Amino acid sequence: MPPRARIIIADDHTLVAEACKKLLEGDYDVVAVVRDGRALVHSASQLQPNVVVIDINMPLLNGLDAGQQIKKASPAVQLVFLTMSEEPELVKEAFRCGASAYVVKTGAAAELVTAVQEVLSGHTYLSPSLARESAASPTRPGFGIDSDVPLTERQREVLQLLAEGRSMKEVGAILKLTTRTVAFHKYRIMKAVHARNNAELVRYAIKKHILPA
């Protein structure tokens, strides 16, 4: 009998995460349930899952960036994004980040089970409510979030934490950087995105799905 697939669930809403776990643990090994993107990246590197179920809007590191980092480190991991958003551009970004499936939380619970089955069989999956939207077709031209975004991976991490209202000292502690280095990243970010103040940084982060609206 083949070994059961290993799954990590990442969602900052406890009820959703536990519901997903209960839905999947009968057929798969749910090896971890995490509440933020940074914990997800760490757990994925340690536990080597076959599938990661990810909410896009998570604290510390959003699901898109977390998923992209996981795919870079372990290309064989299948990413299943589970989210409230039906925005076509966000669907396309998810697949550009290496997603194998995009499931809308407002759909039937069976959709998540089907999505996991499909990605483990080497297929992609898109919620039926989105499948009719030609603009949201799951194409994978490669990794990378929105080629127009002139920010590095580290800059995106710094931007999300700052946009969440954390001080530069707090950001440094989370990312293991000096406060001076964080300040330098902030300066480079503001220059790159033409932001004049913190409010404009937050608006940019929301526009680019780095921070939930």
146, part of any domain: no
CATH number where 166 lies: 1.10.10.10
Q: Report DSSP state, residue 60.
A: S
Residue ranges in the chain whose pLDDT is less than 50:
134-147
Q: How many Cβ atoms are within 10 Å of 204's Cβ, its own excluded?
A: 21
Specify the pLDDT at position 145. Answer: 42
26, part of any domain: yes
Specify the pLDDT at position 128. Answer: 84
Specify the pLDDT at position 81. Answer: 95
Same domain, 29 and 90: yes
Same domain, 17 and 98: yes
Nearest to 125 by CA among 78, 85, 66: 78
Same domain, 88 and 46: yes
Same domain, 65 and 23: yes
Same domain, 128 and 167: no
Nearest to 157 by CA among 190, 193, 114, 205: 205
Domain count, the chain: 2
Same domain, 116 and 177: no
Same domain, 119 and 178: no
Phi-psi region of 29 (alpha: psi -120 to 50; beta: other; left: phi over 0): beta
Specify the pLDDT at position 213. Answer: 67
Same domain, 105 and 179: no
Specify the pLDDT at position 148. Answer: 59
Q: b/e string for 21-45 if b means 16 or more Cβ within 10 A?
A: bebbeeebebbbbbbbbbbbbebbe
The domain of 79 spans 6-136
144, part of any domain: no
Q: Alpha helices of 97-178 — where are they, by DSSP H? A: 110-120, 128-131, 153-163, 168-175
One-letter-per-residue 3-state SS of 22-56: HHHCCCCEEEEEECCHHHHHHHHHHHCCCEEEECC
Q: How many Cβ atoms are within 10 Å of 133's Cβ, its own excluded?
A: 12
Specify the pLDDT at position 132. Answer: 59
Specify the pLDDT at position 109. Answer: 83
The kind and range of the H/E element at 17 are: helix 14-24
pTM: 0.79
CATH number where 87 lies: 3.40.50.2300
Same domain, 82 and 164: no
142, part of any domain: no
Q: Which residues 6+ apart lie within 8 Å of 53 measured at CB?
A: 7, 8, 9, 10, 11, 20, 24, 80, 82, 112, 116
